[in-house]
Structure 1
Amino acid sequence: MKFSIDKNIFSNNVNTVLRAISSKTTIPILSGIYLELKDDGLTISGSDADISITTFITQENADNNLMINSLGSIVLPARFFNEIIKKLPGDTLNIEVLENKQTIISAGKSEFTINGIDAINYPHLPEVATDNQIVLSTDLLKEVVSQTVIAVSNQESRPILTGVNFEIKDGKLKAVATDSHRLSQRVVQLDSSSDYDFIIPGKSLLELTRTINDDLSEIKMSISENQVLFSLGDTLFYSRLLEGNYPETDRLIPESSNTNVVFDATELLASVERASLLSHESRNNVVKLQINTLQNSVTIYGNSPEVGTVEENVQFKKIEGEDLEISFNPDYLKDSLKVLGTSEIVMKFTSPLHPFTIEPQNEDDNFVQLITPVRTY
């Protein structure tokens, strides 16, 4: 195999694929990056068995400056290979694979020779049928992921909760995640007549959003029995799906409330961040919210026995219902407020020991966050 290519374009594609390569893999060949050169262009792939990413650099596009001398394939040590490319001078990169799998990488007056691995042993990409693709707006997908992935669990003791549950039914997509302490759910309209129910690992979704190119307007999603494929232009992103049934979460969201408060999201976030300065110094990391409808006031308290206390009257837009005093983890509320992406939110409470919800004041935005309070007595 022998070719030359625009160094910056090649490096950008390698960086994309590197997101799927783990340095901790127990399968040695998966620590490498796979290159395959055919008549129509160059394929670059990486995988850690959970995520696979492949990109294609076509020869048709003159900007790629891809000059093919001989076809073939090779697997090269990913991290080392990437460092070499970044350090090479000039605008054009030359790669030649010798018969003994040694690979010569050169640019300008610099030349490296590294040992490659026979590509015949590299695992095949997952097979996912693309005849029934679901088209999603790039901005919408990134928004749904950011709003739900904050609630996935980091505990492997319940693997199913480390993912986001996607349910597509009746022309709607419902994405929901919970770690049993909080929940985040977003529902959006979808132009699809198919029904699906699947769970994508939260880590995969985070890598997906980092892989998406900013100038990409739409993404095509294909689902198989145990894999999901996102088509991002010339880049394909595969992720395994989590096996099992996701908990029934609809019943967790209260249908009614006894106390409602409308806040400016930015002002409330600032208040919670100040209160959490002291709560973080405490062992239990809890803040208390006191709502007094008769006095028309909302007060937030933070406390650390070692440092001191903080008390602040929180600005609000509207208050209605019963008096309430409730304690909770402030980090959960901060995460919720940061991803709401709206100016006004409504917090709905039923009782001091029941989960409360945070929703956009705009009812057209079908998005709800739920937080379980902390018992402090």
Structure 2
Amino acid sequence: MHFVINRDYFVHSVQHVSKAISSRTTIPILTGIKIVADHEGVTLTGSDSDISIECFIPIEEEEKQLVEIIQEGSIVLQAKVFTEIVKKLPNDKIELVVQDQFSTTLRSGSSVFNLNGLDPEEYPRLPQIEEENTFQIQNDLLKNLIRQTVFAVSTAETRPILTGVNWQVEDDQLICTATDSHRLAMRKTIIEPASNELNFQNVVIPGKSLNELSKIIEDNNDLLTIIVTENQILFKFKNLLFFSRLLDGNYPATKNMIPQQSKTEIILETKGFQQAIERALLLSRDGKNNVVNFKTLEDEQIEITSVTPEIGRVTEKVNTKQLSGEELRISFNGKNIIDALKIVDSSEIKISFTGAMSPFLVKPVDNENSLHLFSPVRTY
């Protein structure tokens, strides 16, 4: 194999595929990046068997030559070293030559690196996916869907299904839900099915996969294609494929958890409420559960307090925009609330309580498409 390639495009693609590579893999060949050169261009692949990323660099794009293929072929190179080398090469072109015994030479400017490659035939084949359950979505919308749900997945492996985000399709609406059993984040959006009918009810995508995918998605409104199969999901961008395995098991029926009525409703300024809880957590962070106490006062005010006996106590009154319903005292995990408030794209939130020991809802005032549900904390 022998080709000369544009350095910037090559570095960009190498960094993308290396996101799928884990140093903890038990399959030695998967610590490498597979590079294939053919008459169409250069394809790079990285995988840890849960996530696989394939990047394609065409011979030319927009009348600019990116690759010159001198001899077709393939090689697998150790990802960790190769990624660092490519980033630091001096010239705007990189030459890669593979000789006998997978011995590989990288040249750029006056720099020459000789690397030991691995047999590309040993590299696992990427899943073959039938394009039946297909829909399209804009890049920036997908990035938002991930940002507004993935933070709420569980990090505990005791219930593996909760380490993923549940995607459910109902009447051309995609409903994304994440919960760790103490909090829940939900975001809805309308989608465009590319096939006549979507045949999947719901799938659970690992939170880790979505976090890595989010780093790759560009901030634009280009459409990408999503293909769902029984145990894989494929995100198809212009020159990039992102495969992820799906989690096995039944996701809990979260719809029944969301209260339909409320006894107390409060509208608050998002930023001011977030900052008040952050100040309360300064004293409770080392205590149990990041507990913040919350109670309604007269004159449409609320009081936030936090007590750590060995450190001290903080009390703060916060003005609300609107307060209606019964008086209320409740305690909650302040960190969980802050995580949600950070990703609420609204200057005001509405909090709906059904009682001191029942889960409560937080919603953006100007958006019906997302909500957050929290369990209270018992303080006695």
| Normalised-by-shorter TM-score class | over 0.9
Matches of 2:17 and 2:67, distance apart in 1: 19
Matches of 1:27 and 1:372, distance apart in 2: 42
Contact 2:35 2:42 in 1 (8 A): yes
Matches of 2:288 and 2:265, distance apart in 1: 30
TM-score normalised over the length of structure 2? 0.96
1:237-265 deviation digits (Å, cap 9, x = unpaired): 00000011100011111110100000011
Contact 1:54 1:237 in 2 (8 A): yes
Indicate the residue corresponding to 1:139 in structure 2. Answer: 140
Matches of 2:135 and 2:85, distance apart in 1: 39
Indicate the residue corresponding to 2:376 in structure 1. Answer: 373
1:280-330 deviation digits (Å, cap 9, x = unpaired): 0213320100113x4432000012222211100012100000011100110
1:354 equivalent in alignment to 2:353: no
Indicate the residue corresponding to 1:43 in structure 2. Answer: 43
Contact 1:168 1:174 in 2 (8 A): yes
| Higher mean displacement: 56-65 or 22-31 | 56-65
What amino acid sits opposite 1:124 in the alignment? R
Matches of 2:205 and 2:319, distance apart in 1: 38
Contact 2:57 2:66 in 1 (8 A): no
Contact 1:359 1:367 in 2 (8 A): yes
Counterpart secondary structure, 1:133? strand
Indicate the residue corresponding to 1:53 in structure 2. Answer: 53
Q: Compute the displacement of 1:133 (Å).
A: 2.1
What is the Cα-based RMSD across aligned positions, in Å?
1.2
1:94-127 deviation digits (Å, cap 9, x = unpaired): 1000021010011111101010001000000111
TM-score normalised over the length of structure 1? 0.97
Indicate the residue corresponding to 1:219 in structure 2. Answer: 224
Contact 2:300 2:319 in 1 (8 A): no
Unaligned runs of 5+ in 2: none
Kindly, what percent of the aligned residue pairs are identical?
43
Contact 1:57 1:64 in 2 (8 A): no
Counterpart secondary structure, 1:186? strand
Q: How does 1:190-229 map to 2 (within 5 A)?
A: 190-192=191-193, 193-196=197-200, 197-215=202-220, 217-229=222-234
Counterpart secondary structure, 1:100? helix
Matches of 1:344 and 1:94, distance apart in 2: 55
Matches of 1:195 and 1:355, distance apart in 2: 33
1:141-165 deviation digits (Å, cap 9, x = unpaired): 1111111111100011100000000
1:21 equivalent in alignment to 2:25: no
Q: Compute the displacement of 1:169 (Å).
A: 1.8
Unaligned runs of 5+ in 1: none
**TM-aligned CA distance change 1:243 to 1:312, over 3 Å:** same
Indicate the residue corresponding to 1:175 in structure 2. Answer: 176
What amino acid sits opposite 2:245 in the alignment? R
What amino acid sits opposite 2:260 in the alignment? E
Matches of 1:170 and 1:295, distance apart in 2: 44
Q: How does 1:187-336 map to 2 (within 5 A)?
A: 187-192=188-193, 193-196=197-200, 197-215=202-220, 217-292=222-297, 294-336=298-340
Matches of 1:171 and 1:132, distance apart in 2: 12
What amino acid sits opposite 1:208 in the alignment? L
Indicate the residue corresponding to 1:2 in structure 2. Answer: 2
Counterpart secondary structure, 1:124? coil
Indicate the residue corresponding to 2:119 in structure 1. Answer: 118
Deviating beyond 3 angstroms after TM superposition, the runs of 4 or more aligned structure 1 residues are: none
Matches of 2:149 and 2:128, distance apart in 1: 27
Contact 1:167 1:195 in 2 (8 A): no
Matches of 2:199 and 2:274, distance apart in 1: 38
Q: Compute the displacement of 1:132 (Å).
A: 4.2
Contact 2:130 2:229 in 1 (8 A): yes
Matches of 1:226 and 1:87, distance apart in 2: 38
What amino acid sits opposite 1:59 in the alignment? I
Contact 2:167 2:174 in 1 (8 A): yes
Contact 2:140 2:219 in 1 (8 A): no
